[in-house]
Structure 1
């Protein structure tokens, strides 16, 4: 008989939340803030914006997009297979550690990113993205194993809040180096950014050790025998068959796919929109990022509280309605001050919709020991949705010649997601008082 792991251990829950403190610095420093600015600065003086990637001449901005898309699609392809193997052998923690170390070491390697190491550094950028995305799949799967359902919303919000705080701290340190290099005697203009990449990798690697020390290993005491790969595919097949018989879970994945496509696309193109459409300087764009991170802390806790009052489905629907308002507002934004106000609203719902989506999915899972496999489908919706969302945004801009028209594409994503959420009704997602 399979043993049930002990849940709601404060030390284990704290260790789980702390991994977000460790890895969120990648999302902010590498994905969103310092790295994109450094990449543009390094490539903007090339002939027509073209760069050489292992002998192939290509646009620098196109290469950047392809690198991210390639990384996302790679992990979307691998995660179902690897999570099934991890579930079969009960070694989810080892897989999470592997991807964490892969990503953090790749970030450290970006310290050597110069024109002379360009091709290799772009590969490291892709490896860092794969490491981050890969570790998150196994990390998310711990939630239903370490806590009871009544703790999911609150614990998920606490986790995201720690990540926002940690990433803000390192971003502020990195900005201080970039803006005031002379204070610490740095004369090379590119060195401060490369030091921030090194610090990101060290932060991620170092703080993750606390999580790995206390997160349970093989909590269901599984005993793996035979061929891991073959039995992993069998495990995946079992999960797929279970998923077919779970209509509410399938409906939620459809809803999540669409509204999260809009959320993630907004986060990736927000800075580009401010720069291209409003001509805001880099300093203003980074200020916007800090506003979003700071406000998202309160937003995550607010929506955890709201879900206890009105239920998960209704709380998510309210959040998506706000996102609809954000996209409509963005279409009419013309000044920097209006952009700042919009960023404040984005932060208020960003943390809430991310944390509540994960906890809602956890509540809809059946009684199972294959949590990593189930979360691989959640991750596929996230990564494929992001790839398709950014693609649709870019194609719309290319056809109509304006990013404002692309915003209307995102509006469609949010509306479809909202309609799909409306079809989900279950006591598992009811307000705390009604579910009790």
Structure 2
């Protein structure tokens, strides 16, 4: 078994980002939402489970439902995983669920098979986000505290690189179907879903081969489910009574409301508010991913000089600037597409940075424990609740003001408050 801090172990752990990030980019952001929109664009309402829904509203409901399922399940399952020492098995289960669900989207061919698109969208999202709980929980077990900023950033950098590579291949297939002899214009897009699932599952095997299982040699008793609940209760009390963790999670919640909402709504903002065509939106998405690689690298090095807290504050301040820049954009402006690219550049610069630093900072703040999955489940739940709140607030403000610009500007308040709250995190040996 490879020892903690070993380069091969760190590389194997980081490679899961390479494996699963294609879901985040291709399925969540770039290809599937556009495909779903094309399939449903001529329908004012669609039928699902006996009810009639606006197609986009139904899609958003599906994602929100998946986040709530993960928020409910992850603390319970992580408590069981920590008690039994079986994080790796849970990671595999969610990976298999996510990857096979993505592959199943291939059979979403039209409005008659809409239920396939919705059901497997939910299951794929549960698989992706559920696996991240157990994947993130391995960070303090594969890397020492002084390594964790760079290791966390390495994972995100690999993830962005792999997802860009596959997206470029997919876009070539979709834009030039005749090169591969496709007569059905939808077939290349549907094949994309198969490729994402195979990529995710296939490259994950590298991680599964080298990640250790039951690091702390736990020997669970028969009533492990009840003991898992007790484990969860103990960790919950620790989180509540451990000031640095509690304050950091509050700050993390606040800036996650802003970050996750901007990431989810950026494409809609560009198309609906600024009237940009799909080609511009895809180009902006690729720009964000490419700059995010550089941003994760730069800020991981910056954290070693300035400390995690100060570096996180810098990223939060830039996210606040993003809100003001988005507010200033208008579809009537000349060269608005170029300004949107500039905005995408700023988002990319701090997207990978704030994600990787948040993960490593939380890991460094954990007390001496064997319950890493349970602790990271609270981190995950915090992010999921932030997504639900952020999208709700964003939508509510759109209905009140009739403009996405005011909604984006309002998100700056979350960044400001999170900046202030983060100042109260007590600095430690590794978090300064």
Deviation (angstroms), 1:226 = 2.1
> Once the two structures are superposed, what CA deviation does each residue of 1:267-325 show, in whole Å capped at 9, x if it has no partner?
00001000011111101100000000000001001111111111100000011001111
- Match among 6, 9, 15 for residue 6 of structure 2: 9
Deviation (angstroms), 1:187 = 1.5
8 Å CA contact retained: 2:79, 2:231: yes
Are 1:91 and 2:92 matched, yes or no? no
Deviation (angstroms), 1:108 = 0.5
Provide the rounded CA distance (Å) in 2 between the counterparts of 1:95 and 1:282.
38
8 Å CA contact retained: 1:273, 1:403: yes
Provide the rounded CA distance (Å) in 2 between the counterparts of 1:392 and 1:309.
36
> 2:420 — aligned with what?
419
Provide the rounded CA distance (Å) in 2 between the counterparts of 1:353 and 1:198.
31
Deviation (angstroms), 1:112 = 0.6
Are 1:268 and 2:264 matched, yes or no? yes
Compute the RMSD of aligned alpha carbons: 1.2
> 1:279 — aligned with what?
275
Deviation (angstroms), 1:240 = 1.3
> 2:255 — aligned with what?
259
What is the TM-score with the length of structure 1 in the denominator?
0.96
Deviation (angstroms), 1:430 = 4.6
Structure 1: which 5+ residue stretches go unaligned? Answer: 432-436
8 Å CA contact retained: 2:105, 2:116: no
Are 1:74 and 2:92 matched, yes or no? no
> 2:95 — aligned with what?
100
What does 1:201-240 correspond to in 2, within 5 Å? Answer: 201-240=197-236
What does 1:388-427 correspond to in 2, within 5 Å? Answer: 388-427=389-428
8 Å CA contact retained: 1:109, 1:198: yes
Provide the rounded CA distance (Å) in 1 between the counterparts of 2:63 and 2:181.
34
Provide the rounded CA distance (Å) in 2 between the counterparts of 1:45 and 1:332.
33
Deviation (angstroms), 1:5 = 8.9
Provide the rounded CA distance (Å) in 1 between the counterparts of 2:225 and 2:233.
12
What is the TM-score with the length of structure 2 in the denominator?
0.97
Deviation (angstroms), 1:56 = 1.7
> 1:63 — aligned with what?
58
Deviation (angstroms), 1:54 = 2.9
8 Å CA contact retained: 2:2, 2:210: no
> Once the two structures are superposed, what CA deviation does each residue of 1:211-270 show, in whole Å capped at 9, x if it has no partner?
000000111111111212111101111111222221010000000000011011110000
> 1:434 — aligned with what?
none
Provide the rounded CA distance (Å) in 2 between the counterparts of 1:400 and 1:406.
8
Are 1:187 and 2:188 matched, yes or no? no
Provide the rounded CA distance (Å) in 1 between the counterparts of 2:205 and 2:350.
31
What does 1:286-297 correspond to in 2, within 5 Å? Answer: 286-297=282-293
8 Å CA contact retained: 1:392, 1:409: no
Provide the rounded CA distance (Å) in 2 between the counterparts of 1:204 and 1:9.
24
What does 1:290-305 correspond to in 2, within 5 Å? Answer: 290-305=286-301
Are 1:315 and 2:311 matched, yes or no? yes
Provide the rounded CA distance (Å) in 2 between the counterparts of 1:428 and 1:388.
34
> Once the two structures are superposed, what CA deviation does each residue of 1:173-213 show, in whole Å capped at 9, x if it has no partner?
11011100011111112111111011000000100001000
Aligned-partner SS, 2:429: helix
Provide the rounded CA distance (Å) in 1 between the counterparts of 2:364 and 2:429.
7
8 Å CA contact retained: 1:323, 1:349: yes
> 1:34 — aligned with what?
31
Deviation (angstroms), 1:120 = 2.5
Deviation (angstroms), 1:409 = 1.9
Are 1:137 and 2:151 matched, yes or no? no
Structure 2: which 5+ residue stretches go unaligned? Answer: 331-335
8 Å CA contact retained: 2:81, 2:90: yes
> 2:171 — aligned with what?
175
Give the stretch that moved more between structures: 202-211 or 4-13: 4-13
Aligned-partner SS, 1:427: coil
- Match among 239, 244, 248 for residue 248 of structure 1: 244
Aligned-partner SS, 1:193: helix
Aligned-partner SS, 1:83: helix
Provide the rounded CA distance (Å) in 1 between the counterparts of 2:243 and 2:7.
34
Deviation (angstroms), 1:30 = 0.4
Aligned-partner SS, 2:53: strand
8 Å CA contact retained: 2:3, 2:9: no
> Once the two structures are superposed, what CA deviation does each residue of 1:60-115 show, in whole Å capped at 9, x if it has no partner?
01101100000001000000000000000000000000000000000000011122
Provide the rounded CA distance (Å) in 2 between the counterparts of 1:318 and 1:153.
16
8 Å CA contact retained: 2:107, 2:116: no
8 Å CA contact retained: 1:168, 1:290: yes
8 Å CA contact retained: 1:100, 1:135: yes
Give the stretch that moved more between structures: 330-339 or 25-34: 330-339
Question: Which contiguous aligned blocks of 4+ residues in structure 1 show a shift greater than 6 angstroms?
Answer: none
> 2:333 — aligned with what?
none
8 Å CA contact retained: 1:143, 1:362: yes
